[in-house]
Amino acid sequence: MILCANCHNLLILENNGLRNTLNCKACPYVYDLTKKIVKTYKNQTKTPDKLVYGGENELKYAAKCVKCNCEIAMYIEMQTRSADEPMTIFYQCVECRTTWKE
């Protein structure tokens, strides 16, 4: 992706038969492609940080712990998937600190 040097709009690839150019649709700027432009990006996977509970976003909820059967758990909601998917709810037992998600 190359931006126009004048107005910073995205340049559009055009081929007139003789050469390839990147043209700005907002102004007369033309970038001649004399060599291949190749950029490789490697996706880096990130490991999630340990869930830290506490602070103003923490809420207590009547949920049964999967390990010690305690009836109270703290929870926090996070958007872990795309925006059109529901939020993920992370729970943490107030007694044994076991963490699970729903």
Q: Which residues pair with 10 in a beta bridge?
A: 3
Q: Which of 68, 70, 46, 61 is nearest to 102 (CA)?
A: 61
As annotated, the binding site for Zn(2+) includes 4, 7, 24, 27, 65, 68, 93, 96
More confident residue, 53 or 68: 68
Q: What is the pLDDT of residue 12?
A: 93
In terms of pTM, does the model score above 0.75? no
Domains of the chain, with CATH numbers?
1-41 (2.20.25), 59-101 (2.20.25.10)
As annotated, the binding site includes 4, 7, 24, 27, 65, 68, 93, 96
The predicted-structure confidence for 10-66, as pLDDT tens digits, reads as follows 999 988 788 888 999 999 999 888 766 677 878 777 665 555 555 555 666 778 888
Q: CA-CA distance, 36 to 53, in Å (whole number)?
A: 50
